[in-house]
Structure 1
Amino acid sequence: MSVTYSRVDEYPMDDTLEYFIKFPSPNFKTEAQGAESDYVFVCNETNVPIVLLLGWAGCQDKYLMKYSKIYEDRGLITIRYTAPVENLFWKRTAMVQIGEKILKLIYDMNFDSHPLIFHVFSNGGAFLYQHIALANRRSKRPVQICGMIFDSAPGDRRVLGLYRAISAILGKERRCNTLVSAAMAVSLLVLWAFEDSFNYLRNFIRPVGYEVQTNPSHNLKYESNEWPQLYLYSKTDLLIPYTDIEKFAAYRQQSGVDVRMVCFDRSEHVKHYIRHPQQYIYSVGKFINDCLTNYYNKYHGN
């Protein structure tokens, strides 16, 4: 059964972290019929599904908003957030608190009884998800996650990929972009290597249960969760090679996770929706519908 919310305003939820929440349009059924996929997601009146979109490094909200509209037009609640670049690259200890604040937001909005689906973009979104998942594992009443979408992620750390990511963030208009980006990429990889070594040693000192979250392509591979995962990627992605994603997905599948993969033709990093809107919407729509159907059958007997 579908449900409509009349509240359509957007607003930042915190003085220091710019969360944006949007409820479905009152006319979401009509709007969805005019879009690429003419169906409305399976929902429940009392706990409408929530899609939490986590942007890539340097992502502006106006870009993330285009993706959230896919779900809002079809009756779902969305939360959008992109971690600050400095916290993704060098001030990374703050990510623990950011993950905890996002989880607290879900509790404060009374969304903890709603089925939650993550849609994460690139390694930046995957890195942030790690810390939300960590906060959720430590919670006395963890929220129900029923599905996960990886868009152009996760990938291993490489100098060339990091260099291209930094170049995109700095922008082509910046003078000496090539040299600055290259220097930053090498410096960050060295810094992260020291950070990983330090955290590895610290594990011998901290009490049992201490978890280190540094590398999404490594840490997320060994997650204990078993909710379904959808991977959206392309063989022409210059930032994260498709082979990284396929190896990661294969490992998760061998671990018993329901894995689905969609490889797009000739689309750039986090631009699959722009290049292939119909296929993109169909893929995420079918995946979420299946996740929600399984969720409601399992917990509500519908």
Structure 2
Amino acid sequence: MGDDGIDYNIVFPEPQISEKYWRGSKEPVVILLGWAGCRDKHLSKYSSIYNTQGCVTVHYTAPLKTVFISESFGYKELRSAAHKLLEILYDYEVENNPIFFHVFSNGGFMLYRYMVELLQSHKQFSSLCVVGTVVDSAPGSQNLRGALRALKTTLGPNVNVLLRCFLLALFAVMVVLLRVVLYPVTKYFHKNHYDAMMERPAPWPQMYLYSRADRVIRYRDVEKMVRALQEKGLSVESFDFITPPHVSLFRDCPEDYSNRCHTFLNSCMTNFEGTVRGKRFQVHH
């Protein structure tokens, strides 16, 4: 669907499945944010993890130019997409449902960063209730080699060799200049996603899934983020799948991956329902 100027998909579960899992409570809305170059058919496989549990799912992947070009130059196009995605919840009248994010690679994490900022600062979205986030193969920090691998994979073999080399060289120069050499200055105008989320993280529970064999996102960057958030007193857990390549955790370990997502979602929902009951108790007594 693209009625809102962005190409997203929303899937509603069968009512009897929602009732089976959530027993009359509002089912979670899971927002899946794809990696750069991800197609909807890929996200649909992850969506099924949650649809089979009676969740509503929204899938969206930011355009390549927005992830690789606009964000590197400091244009906040992704903020506009983040705003539209949150507005979709009102369009489909699920703004009162608990919200859960599932974020892939830096492409998804860059967009997630703006959604978190809007949820924390924008009056329109202050009533939305996020219960948790799963982060898959992210975030990475100033990893030029990984970024080039990601862009090369995304461009694919069908792009002319000379054009591919030109684009990779241009991207490398741009990233080194704006995101490494000049970053001590440019960060005052536009912090990168990694620093922004470390400085002002999401307050809800988070689970980071990654692999030390990932050649696009350094596992040390993920572990550094996890430690920093835990030191801030946030509820953060992580798991290293060790051997799968970048964004291949589910493909290589489908059962373990699905179970971890289900267990974490259920834990977040239990905490959320306990909080809601507590608030009701305070109101009535």
Give the TM-score category using the shorter length.
Answer: 0.7 to 0.9
Structure 1 residue 139: deviation in Å?
2.4
CA displacement, residues 160-193 of structure 1 (integer Å, 9 cap, x when unaligned): 1111001111112334276335403313302445
Letter matched to residue 7 of structure 2: E
More helix by share: 2
Tell me, yes or no, if structure 1 residue 79 matches structure 2 residue 58: yes
Residue of structure 2 in register with 1:18 after alignment: 7
Residue of structure 2 in register with 1:145 after alignment: 130
Gap regions ≥5 residues in structure 1: 1-11, 30-39, 203-211
Residue of structure 2 in register with 1:164 after alignment: 149
| TM-score normalised by structure 2 residue count | 0.87
Question: Which one of 204, 210, 231 corresponds to residue 227 of structure 1?
Answer: 204
Question: Which one of 155, 177, 186 corresponds to residue 172 of structure 2?
Answer: 186
Residue of structure 2 in register with 1:6 after alignment: none
Distance 1:196 1:102, change over 3 A: farther
- Of stretches 111-120 and 179-188 in structure 1, the one that deviates more from structure 2 is 179-188
Is contact 1:51–1:118 with CA below 8 Å preserved after alignment? yes
Letter matched to residue 165 of structure 1: A
Percent of pairs identical after alignment?
33
- Of stretches 89-98 and 189-198 in structure 1, the one that deviates more from structure 2 is 189-198
Gap regions ≥5 residues in structure 2: 281-285
CA displacement, residues 1-57 of structure 1 (integer Å, 9 cap, x when unaligned): xxxxxxxxxxx152520111001135748xxxxxxxxxx75x253521111000001
- Report SS of the residue matched to 1:156: coil
Aligned residue runs from structure 1 range 1-302, under 5 A: 12-14=1-3, 16-25=5-14, 28=17, 41=21, 43=22, 45-92=24-71, 93-140=76-123, 141-142=125-126, 143-176=128-161, 179-180=165-166, 182-189=168-175, 190-192=177-179, 197-198=185-186, 200=188, 202=189, 212=190, 214-300=191-277
**Alignment size in residue pairs:** 269
- Report SS of the residue matched to 1:227: coil
CA displacement, residues 183-216 of structure 1 (integer Å, 9 cap, x when unaligned): 033133024455873461x5xxxxxxxxx4x422
- Report SS of the residue matched to 1:236: coil
For residues 271 and 52 of structure 1, the distance between their equivalents in structure 2, rounded to whole angstroms, comes to 19
For residues 276 and 27 of structure 1, the distance between their equivalents in structure 2, rounded to whole angstroms, comes to 29
Is contact 1:24–1:73 with CA below 8 Å preserved after alignment? yes
Structure 1 residue 121: deviation in Å?
0.1
Residue of structure 1 in register with 2:283 after alignment: none
